[in-house]
Structure formats: C-alpha cells, structure tokens
A and B are shown apart, each in its own frame.
Chain A
Amino acid sequence: MARVRTGVRAVSAVLAAVLGATLAGCSSTGGKRAEERAAKAAQGRSAVDTPRWTFAMVTHSGDGDTFWDIVQSGAKQAAVKDNIKFLYAHDVEGNKQAQSVQAMIDQKVDGLIVSLAKPDAMKDVVAKAEKAGIPVITVNSGSDKSKEFGALTHIGQDEVIAGEAVGEQLNERGKKKAVCVLHEQGNVGHEQRCEGVKKSFKGEVVNLYVEGTNMPNVQSSIEAKLQSDKDVDAVVTLGAPFAPTAVKAAQQAGSKAEVDTFDLNAKVADSLKDGSLGFAVDQDPYLQGYEAVDLLWLYRYNRDMLGGGRPVLTGPQIVTKDDAKVLAEYTKRGTR
C-alpha cells in the first residue's frame, strides 16, 4: 500500500513539472499557435443557399499521404463554401478503390470525384455511376481516359508536360546528367514524368527506383547512386517529402548535385528559400480538390462545365527561390 502511494506521488510530481514547464516555456515562434493564426486566414461559411448535396471523393492514395491531404483540404474548403457534405475514401489497390466507389454509389451521392491512376479497374464502376445519374469528375491522373469513360471533365496536370517543364529548367541551368527518383513502383504517372524529363532534357537521364514507404531506404539508395556515379549533377524527386531526403543523401555522398522536385510542401518551400533546393514544379493539389467540388456544384446548380470537354490543367508551375517566399506561408497551413 505504501509503495502504491509513493508511486502515485511520483507520477503527480512529474505531471506537475511537465505542466509547469509548458506554461512557463512558451515559444513566440512557430508551433500550434502560428498554425492557428494561419488557418484563420483560410476558413469560411457557406455562401450559397442550394440544398445540402453530398459529394464523394475516392482516390488511389495510400494511408497518410501529404499530397492527397492538400487535395482534401481544397475540396473541404469548397465544400464549406458551397454547402456540400464531403465524403472521402481511398485505396492503393485498384480493385479496392473500385469497391469504395461502388459503396459511394450505393449511398446515392449527388456527385463523384475519382482519380484514375488505375483506369482499367475504375472503368466499369464509373460507368455504373453515370447509369445511376451521378455526375463524375476525374482528378489528378487519367486525363487521357476521362472523356472516354464519360466523365464531365478532368482536373489535373499532364504528367508528360510537367516532366518536359522540368527538363527545360534543367537545360537552362546547364545540367548534364540527371537521376529521376521513382518512389512508387507501378505508378504509371511517375513513369510519364520521367519520360517527360527525358524528352526535353538535352543531357542523360537515369531512372532510380526507391521504396517510398521507407525513408532510410530512399536516402541510402540515392547516396549509393551518387557515390557510384560522379557525373550526376541533378537529382529529380517525384514527391515533396523525398526532396529533403535527397538533399541529405547528396550531402552524405559529398556530391555537388542539385536537387529539384515535383510538388510542394512546407519543407520544400523553406529549402527553396535557403537555396538547398534548385526548383520545384507544382501541380497545385489544393486547386484540384477545390475545383473538383466547385465544378460539381456548378454543374448541379447551373449545368456549367469548364474545359469544353478537354482536361483543365492545374500545372505545371515552376516554383523558384523568389516564389517560395510568398508560398511559404501557404504551405505552412497545408493549402499549397
């Protein structure tokens, strides 16, 4: 009994100490408060009096994916503004993604947003949605299939064009040999990006496959590549979370290669500002989510549709040191 009491006393002493330290040691920079201040700038109330429709988004994202998180925050922002109930589901495997779309159709949603990374798996279920009278918009991947499947429009970036933009940037910077780091084997969009780079880049491009779900593996693979091939003067990563890792790998390997990346996040914006990254090419995921919901709303409200049957492009946008200063604030609140 006595021992229990000393235990309780010790625990409460520790708790009190932690609480005291938290209160006394406030940070005047960064942290949750700064985030809340920034988030206040990106909120709102419903601005329309249309009925409360339900729109669902089903993507091929994995668990905890930064990029899709930003797509979602754009979609949610538009949903708030347009008085929409927004549902989200995702699965990496085409088969299960199709099942989730079917589950949304069963619920008789008023609009559907799907990504077509695995178009063949999604073909039948998208047709089913249209048969049920649910308007479908495709986002992010599958611009070539969107119209064929009968979707209203596609919102995203043409991956080959984005790759070509990177290749041209590399030419401007006088690079000779680039490594294209693919972090997801089996992703057609990624292959297209590296093909685009190959198309427009005058130097040589080597593809390097890494295991995107395992950061240490990404770092060691890039390191090994840079150590074994001294001619490499540019590393192109296909996702924002991998850019800082590539920078670390280049430092470890003692390589002078410049790291450039597809997509943005807060860390990438900071690295662009301090010059450790060359440039980023952004497809503005926030816009993809926001526009998808907003266009569905416009379609239901007024039968409007952007793009005239052609994909609506949200990128590529080359982001360099100067742009990063402006964007840093937005990346911190998770909207760019």
Chain B
Amino acid sequence: MSSTTATAPEAAPRVRSLPRRVLGRPELGSVVGAAAVFVFFAIVADSFLSASSLSTVLYASSTIGIMAVPVALLMIGGEFDLSAGVMVTSSALVSSMFSYQMTANVWVGVGVSLLVTLAIGFFNGFVLTRTKLPSFIITLGTFLMLTGLNLGFTKLISGTVSTKTIGDMEGFDSARALFASHFTLGDVDLQVTVLWWIGLVAVATWVLLRTRAGNWVFAVGGGVDAARAVGVPVRRTKIGLYMAVAFCAWVSGQHLLMSYDVVQSGEGVGNELLYIIAAVIGGCLMTGGYGSAIGSAVGAFIFGMTSKGIVYAQWNPDWFKFFLGAMLLLATLLNAWVRKRAEASK
C-alpha cells in the first residue's frame, strides 16, 4: 500500500464484476437492515409513510448523522471519541454566550465557537498522539471535563443553567438560515440539516475513496506501525480526524442554537454512544481499518426510523432502548456475516 496511489484500498488490481463489488462494500449489511426496518414500520405504523412523518424521520436521522460521519472516519482510523456528544453542546454554548456577553454580531460568536471547538478537537488528537494512551481514556477525560465546563461556565456567566436568548441580535436571522432553516421540496418539508448531512457524507466518501488522505485513514486504522513504515504521517492524520469530529460538532451545535436560540447546558451527554452505534451499524469495525461514510448515514437513518417509528407505531416508549440494543446486535451480526461471504467469494 504505497501512499501515492489514489485508488481505494479495497479495489483489487483486476476489474471485478458489479455484484462482486457490491458484496465487498462495508455498508451492504446496513442497507439490507435499513430496508427491513423501513418495511417493518411501514406495515405496523399507519402514519409512517406520510410526507410529514418522513421529514420528521429524516430530520431525526440528520441530527445523529451529521456527527456519525466524522465518528465513522475516526473509527476507520482506529480511534474513539467519547467527548463528541457534549462537544456539540459546548460549541453551541460558546457561540451563544460570546455573542451575548460581547453584544457582538451573532456571526462573531459562531466564528469564535468554530475556533474553540476545533481547539478541543486538536487537544484530543494532540494528547492522544503525544501520550500514546488509549483514545478511550483520553476522550473520556475530555468528556467529563467538558460536561463540567459546560455547566460551570454557563452558571458563572449567565447565572442560570441555560443561556440567554440571542434571537433579537444582529446576524441571527442569516445564521439561522444557514444552520436551522427548512424548505419545501414537493410536499415534503425538509430541514437544512438534511442537506448538511448529505454534503458531509459526500465529502467524507470522496476523501476516503479518492484522496491520499483517505488512504492514510485506512492505513493508520489497519496498523499504525505498518503505516508509519510506508511513510504515512500518522500523527497528522489522527489529529486531523479529531478536528473533523470537532468541525461537525460545531455544525450540530450551531444548529441547536439557531433552532432554539437558547441552549441548555446539561444536554448532549450520552449522544456520543449514538454516533458510535450509527457508525457500527453502518459497517465500521471496532478495531479500525474498515468501514464507510455512507454506512454511517445508513446507520443514522436506521436509528432515526426506530426512534420515531416507535412513536408512530404508538408503542410504549419504555421498550425503545431494548429495540435499539437488539438492533445493534443484529446489524453487527449481519455485517459480519456479509463480510465473511464477501471475503470467501473473492
């Protein structure tokens, strides 16, 4: 695997037939799963197939999906980020409070927030590559610190546990248009986050399959020492991946802020696991070196369908977590089985 070729690592030297190529894709298992979940809820829930329901499901999926993309990339690169959930909240808090306290244009706060969030991502990557500690430990530390900072700072600055409204400040409307508007497509009302989500998936897929950086990601996830031996900049790649997570956390955070114009400081805890679940359902391996961005999108879509499908099916929500767990197991088993078949047929 030389670092100069611009082909995807899973592309074998000879041209393979289309069904073979399809079978070799990491997201195949999850696509089958998504179709099954979709058909299931279409049958059991009468209102699931209406246009407004589908836009609600797509919106719910996009809020998870925007974060699942970089988390999937990071997992292909062989690392975790447990701070991703609260980082979203941190990012929203920074822009809101900076704009309010400085009485600045909202875009100033948004810009400052981007810098701060990227700095948090850089910190994660930098400490990881310097200390050689497992990313699980480092990002767990960041997660706890951010949770505390979110609450502590908000209470210190605003005097309460949520931020003050910035809806009447300059720049808010244009920022809302970018991060939290919605538009009508035919008779479906789509949130702009769905566009962000599709855009991020497209960019990440292009990077993974068509650029040198994408090869580096696969290489560091497959084996750090081997990658270093062939000249892959391991440290730069990992720091870059963490900063990609931070960038998407900033997008999600701005969306939360612009849609509700007030942020609750205690939120976001636990979402990091949802992002990881979406990536894993989409075919990422926990050990790194394998997976895809499209898979993470399919995983997020399955999650969105399940979480809202239970409401449409009018079931008791107490069982939601059980379904989520069962689905995670089934999807992962299906992925493993499909992968085995694909390898056997090569």
Contacts and interface: CB of A to CB of B under 8 A. Distances in A.
Interface of A: 63-64, 87-90, 92-96, 99-100, 102-108, 118, 120-121, 123-124, 184-188, 191
A185 B161 contact: yes
Contacts of A95: 63, 256, 259-260, 267
A240 B57 CA distance: 36
Contacts of B262: 120-121
B265 A106 contact: no
Given A99-B308, A106-B312, A123 B260 contact: yes
A186 B317 contact: no
A89 B264 contact: no
Contacts, number: 84
B85 to A, nearest CB: 10
B52 A191 contact: no
A90 B319 CA distance: 12
Q: How large is the interface on B (under 10, 10 to 19, 20 to 34, 35 or more residues)?
A: 20 to 34
Given A88-B316, A100-B308, 12 more contacts: A63-B318, A88-B317, A95-B63, A103-B53, A103-B308, A106-B312, A107-B312, A108-B47, A118-B264, A120-B162, A185-B265, A187-B266
Interface of B: 47, 50, 52-53, 56, 59-60, 63, 151, 160-162, 165, 256, 259-262, 264-268, 307-308, 311-312, 314, 316-318, 321
Q: Which of B53, B268, B314 has the most CB of A within 10 A?
A: B314
Contact of B311 (A89, A120, A187): A89
A104 B308 CA distance: 10
A94 B264 contact: yes
Contacts of A64: 318
A93 B307 CA distance: 14
Contact of B260 (A120, A185, A186): A120
Nearest to A90: B317
Given A185-B266, A186-B264, A99 B59 contact: yes
Q: Which of B160, B260, B268 has the most CB of A within 10 A?
A: B260
A186 B266 contact: yes
B260 A94 contact: yes
A163 to B, nearest CB: 15
Q: Which of A90, A107, A118, A187 has the most CB of B within 10 A?
A: A107
